[in-house]
A and B are shown apart, each in its own frame.
Chain A
Amino acid sequence: MGKVIVVTSGKGGVGKTTAVANIGTALASLDQKVALVDADIGLRNLDVVLGLENRIVYDIVDVVEGRAKLKQALIKDKRFPSLYLLPAAQTRDKEAVSPEDMIGLCNKLREEFDFIIIDSPAGIERGFKNAVTPADMAIIVTTPEVSAVRDADRVIGLLEAMEKEDSKLIVNRVRSKLVDRGDMLSVDDVLEILSIELIGVIPEDEHIIISTNRGEPLVNNNTAPAGKSFMDIARRILGEDVPMNIYTDKDDLFTKFRRLFKWR
């Protein structure tokens, strides 16, 4: 029986979809059978981040409304043989699916997959409830900013009210230089405020932008600090005891040289 994990945040733009894509590919590369479910109906993006946008035939609403079988809608990622995507519908809204539909859907997926990772939409309304209801575990993504941490706190409160006991935190886009200089909340500051267990720290990393442009997951890239961090998170999900490293990008000589002439 597979495990259902929801990735959520409250605030938009903190990196939920990127986290889902990268944790999913990391787990798949560790020989797990993974289904990624895009619950952001009407504003789908997980397909683009994964580079699978041209392969969509059926979507989650087609499955729920009986126009397609689950197996027909699942897109197999050719680069990772054990990774699948169930895309969201683009022309419908969150009301097209109910929390009960999501439970039914996930129970079917549990039989086939080791992990089902749901990409939650931003907000705390119907789409959030759809994404969270079937989950065994919640991963909350935040960045070290007042607005994102505030929304994360609200989401943690809602998850507690829904009796979702297993909630963990990712602090995304940490910029060590700013933290060192006292101009950014540190991971410890965020943990102190939210009092929740940490599952990973992702440094700000331009590799993310490049890989998203290309539609390729970052995890195959061993030099990218964010890629290494997502791989660590996947190992922790599998129960391994991985030390909490904040990886930094070592500038190569060329980059240093270029920076010198740009005054930065």
Chain B
Amino acid sequence: MSVIIDAIKRLFTHEGGSKEIAKERLKLVLIHDRTSISSEIMEQIKEEIIQVISKHLEIDKDGVEFSLEGEENSVALVANIPIKGLRRHKKKS
């Protein structure tokens, strides 16, 4: 009986498409493998960028996200830095 139910289920549920997931995961993992940037260096870059931006903006340091992302033939370092508030510069009057 369960065999028949499975067969009916298979008829109505959409199989397929896991290849796109595989391809995306593969591309991402290869970006890291190929650039051979260690997580240590990534962490250092992150710290330094936080320092620079903190001079001018108040940011949520715990919410900072850093990642390497690939698009077609290029790789980008994507940083997501949440800003808490702008430090008000005193306007010269």
A-side interface residues toward B, CB under 8 Å?
A: 145-146, 149-150, 153-154, 157, 179, 181-186, 189, 193, 263
- Among residues of B, the one whose C-beta sits closest to the C-beta of A154 is B33
Q: Which residues of B contact A184 (CB under 8 A)?
A: 19
How far apart are A171's CB and chain B's nearest CB, in angstroms? 14
User: Contact at A182–B34, with CB atoms within 8 Å?
Assistant: no
Q: Which residues of A contact B62 (CB under 8 A)?
A: none
Q: Which residues of B contact A154 (CB under 8 A)?
A: 33
**Contact partner, B16, options A183, A189, A193, Cβ 8 Å:** A183
Given A193-B26, A193-B27, A263-B7, are A183 and B19 also a contact pair (CB < 8 Å)?
yes
Q: Which residues of A contact B15 (CB under 8 A)?
A: 181, 183
- Among residues of B, the one whose C-beta sits closest to the C-beta of A263 is B3
B20 close to chain A: CB less than 8 A: yes
B-side interface residues toward A, CB under 8 Å?
A: 3, 7, 15-20, 22-23, 25-27, 29-30, 33-34
User: Contact at B19–A186, with CB atoms within 8 Å?
Assistant: yes
User: Contact at A182–B19, with CB atoms within 8 Å?
Assistant: yes
How far apart are A176's CB and chain B's nearest CB, in angstroms? 13
User: Contact at B33–A193, with CB atoms within 8 Å?
Assistant: no
Compute how far the CA of A239 lies from the CA of B87 in the bound complex, rounded to whole angstroms.
70
How far apart are B21's CB and chain A's nearest CB, in angstroms? 9
B7, B17, B20, B30: most-surrounded residue (chain A CB, <10 A): B30
Q: Which residues of B contact A146 (CB under 8 A)?
A: 22, 25-26, 29
User: Contact at A185–B22, with CB atoms within 8 Å?
Assistant: yes
User: Contact at A189–B23, with CB atoms within 8 Å?
Assistant: yes
Given A189-B19, A189-B23, are A150 and B7 also a contact pair (CB < 8 Å)?
no
